[in-house]
């Protein structure tokens, strides 16, 4: 006959029946470690309802710790600017969001952004200071909150790494890392004087991310067609650019118009 002893749940004080055999097992196997003994006692005398609540809290804590670890890793590796932590859709100014219908639509897309969506990448066109980077930083913060890694890189850095690819092993490693990061932001695409090597490196990054359905954000002061023409002028191999542009057909096009926000706030 199984014997039991009445105990009060340490969390809700509800009275439960605990098998005496479990109490004896703890006495026999956990003699010297007082802390472990208390933990085992807490496990067996806690009621089922409290166990479920504790499991849910533990899962939330694990998710939070993973998010913080991903964010800390990103900052430790200088992937993101220090001020990006302040850039979130929740804290963005309403006058900024509603300056034009295009910007309002962009923010609506950004707030609903998920890495697994069909349209998870974007080509953001706009003048300098129109708010493209701020918007992208909000998306990157959303990615970090979801546990993804994130990186921001200037397009000219990709061009420089492509030129050093054969000479420096670090350049090969960095380009390999760029194409594999969870959520990637490529800034100032239209301000680079591209070479064919740079365009090839960029195509490899975009092609890899397209095939693996990884979110990519690109900012430029040029339209998609103007950007394509700029790449075409630098490539003797005329098959490179069409192949890359084809991979970008799933990029949603966003336009940020208006005067510089920096000038307006000065």
The CATH number that applies at residue 204 is 3.40.50.300
Residue 123: partners with Cβ closer than 8 Å, 6 or more residues away: 218, 220, 224, 248, 251, 252, 253, 254
pLDDT at 237 (0 to 100): 79
Interval 114-147: pLDDT, tens: 888 878 999 999 888 778 888 898 898 888 888 7
In a domain, 200, yes or no: yes
In a domain, 72, yes or no: no
Whether residues 214 and 144 fall in one domain: yes
Count of domains for the chain: 2
Q: When comparing pLDDT for 155 and 93, which is higher?
A: 155
- What beta strand segments (E) does 23-93 contain? none
Contact 196, 237 (CB under 8 A): yes
Which helix (H) or strand (E) is 152 found in, with range? strand 150-154
Whether residues 146 and 109 fall in one domain: yes
In a domain, 213, yes or no: yes
Identify the CA nearest to 70 among candidates 183, 152, 147: 147
> Residue 45's domain spans which residues?
4-66
Q: Tokens 């004896």 identify what position?
A: 24
Average pLDDT of the residues in 44-60:
76
Instruction: Say what the pTM is.
Output: 0.67
Average pLDDT, whole number, for the chain? Answer: 79
**What is the distance between the alpha carbons of residues 190 and 221, in angstroms, rounded to a whole number?**
6
Strands 252-256 and 122-126 turn out to be: parallel
Q: Tokens 């208006």 identify what position?
A: 258
Whether residues 59 and 109 fall in one domain: no
In a domain, 75, yes or no: no
Q: When comparing pLDDT for 91 and 191, which is higher?
A: 191
pLDDT at 34 (0 to 100): 60
Identify the CA nearest to 81 among candidates 153, 170, 184, 157: 153
Interval 143-182: pLDDT, tens: 888 878 888 899 998 998 888 876 677 777 788 888 888 8
């Amino acid at each position: 006959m199984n014997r039991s002893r009445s105990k009060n749940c340490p969390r809700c004080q509800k009275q439960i029946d605990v098998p005496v055999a479990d109490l004896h097992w703890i006495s026999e196997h956990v003699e010297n470690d007082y802390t472990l003994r208390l933990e085992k006692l807490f496990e067996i005398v806690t009621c089922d309802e409290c166990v479920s609540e504790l499991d849910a809290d533990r899962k939330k804590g694990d998710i939070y710790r993973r998010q913080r670890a991903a964010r800390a890793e990103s900052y430790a590796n200088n992937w993101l600017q220090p001020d990006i932590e302040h850039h979130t859709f929740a804290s963005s100014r309403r006058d900024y969001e509603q300056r034009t219908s295009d910007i309002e639509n962009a923010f609506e897309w950004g707030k609903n952004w998920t890495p697994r969506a069909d349209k998870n990448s974007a080509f953001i066109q706009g003048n300098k200071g129109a708010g493209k980077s701020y918007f992208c930083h909000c998306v990157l913060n959303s990615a970090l909150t979801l546990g993804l890694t994130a990186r921001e890189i200037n397009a000219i850095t990709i061009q420089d790494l492509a030129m050093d690819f054969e000479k420096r092993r670090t350049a090969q490693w960095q380009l390999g890392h760029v194409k594999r990061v969870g959520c990637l932001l490529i800034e100032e695409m239209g301000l680079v004087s591209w070479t064919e090597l740079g365009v090839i490196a960029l195509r490899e990054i975009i092609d890899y991310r397209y095939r693996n359905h990884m979110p990519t954000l690109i900012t430029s002061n040029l339209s998609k067609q103007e950007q394509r023409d700029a790449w075409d002028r630098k490539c003797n191999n005329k098959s490179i650019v069409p192949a890359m542009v084809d991979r970008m057909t799933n990029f949603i096009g966003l336009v940020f118009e208006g005067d510089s926000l920096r000038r307006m706030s000065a």
